[in-house]
Amino acid sequence: MAIEISGLTKIFARVNGDGREVFRDFSLTLGAGKVAALLGPSGCGKSTLLRLIAGIEKLSAGSVVVPAKRIGMAFQEPRLLPWRSVADNLRLAAPGLSDAALDASLAAFELDGRGGDFPGQLSLGLARRVALARAFAVEPDLLLLDEPFASLDLALHRRLRALLAQRIAARGMTVLIATHDLDDALLLADEVIFLGGAPAQVKQRLELDMPREQRDENLTKLRTLAPFYPSSEGEGGGKSGSS
Ligand SMILES: Nc1ncnc2c1ncn2[C@@H]1O[C@H](COP(=O)(O)OP(=O)(O)OP(=O)(O)O)[C@@H](O)[C@H]1O
């Protein structure tokens, strides 16, 4: 198993003394080498779950077992160090990176020639690509992506999603992507995990066995597998739920 969560409880303390219980006795396992998408309404706990798996958020109770030696993570905001160049942002995450590997990491996300730029000089789309290149540069066994395409225009969203699909296919690793976007999940994942409720629970797990390269042309059909979850590009569009 790449991720084994059992009996997880997570409570955020509030100033007025009571707590926000995001997870209660929550369990989930994910097999090694799988690409899973975590889908659910805003505020249901997707980012919190990724942070708990990455070990940057403390559990209130239960256990999260992650055998991965190297974890790559891209946050909702690109979170680059503003006073470091693009190349140095990658080198800080992956200190052993050779110049050739650095160039290849940048090229994989169409960032050729951008190594000397500083984050302040980048558009959001470029900054997201750098954050993704950085997450891949560590050669992770486990890649955690939190809304990797949030706030991008549709054309860029699609291009970046296609780039990500290529990179995932090129490297065998376990990937967990948190998203609100059904199409991202249907195009990228081997399995879609629908979360909902408060505290959050797994509402449904949907296995996708269609080869990834055939999914674009079959997207309308794939959307029918999750009729209860509106697609952002299909009819009924937009995010579901609220926080
Ligand atoms: N550091 C924190 N302190 C207090 N409450 C928090 C903290 N982080 C998250 N929460 C709360 O936990 C709940 C889950 O938040 P989380 O960001 O995990 O949801 P999400 O599903 O990722 O939402 P979105 O899709 O909007 O990013 C929300 O009610 C949020 O307000």
Whether the CB-CB separation of 202 and 44 falls below 8 Å is answered with: no
Q: Supply the residue whose CA is at minimum distance from atom 10 of ligand 1.
A: 12
In a domain, 147, yes or no: no
Domain extent for 36: 1-69+177-199+213-236
Question: In terms of pLDDT, which residue wins out, 131 or 172?
Answer: 131
In a domain, 60, yes or no: yes
In a domain, 139, yes or no: no
Structure tokens at 44: 């249901």
- Number of domains the chain is built from: 1
In a domain, 89, yes or no: no
pLDDT number for residue 225: 93
In a domain, 41, yes or no: yes
Question: In terms of pLDDT, which residue wins out, 237 or 9?
Answer: 9
In a domain, 115, yes or no: no
Q: Supply the residue whose CA is at minimum distance from atom 3 of ligand 1.
A: 12
* Straight-line distance from the first to the last Cα atom of the chain, in angstroms, rounded to the nearest whole number: 31
Model confidence, pTM: 0.90
In a domain, 113, yes or no: no
Q: What is the mean pLDDT of residues 23-39?
A: 95
pLDDT tens for each residue of 172-195 = 889 999 999 999 999 999 999 999
Pocket test for ligand 1, best of 15, 26, 48 (most atoms within 8 A of CB): 48
Q: Supply the residue whose CA is at minimum distance from atom 31 of ligand 1.
A: 43
In a domain, 52, yes or no: yes
Pocket test for ligand 1, best of 10, 23, 26, 47 (most atoms within 8 A of CB): 47
Residues 6 or more apart whose Cβ sits within 8 Å of residue 22: 10, 11, 12, 45, 48, 198, 199, 200
The values of phi and psi at residue 80, to 5°, are -90, 155
CATH of the domain at 45: 3.40.50.300
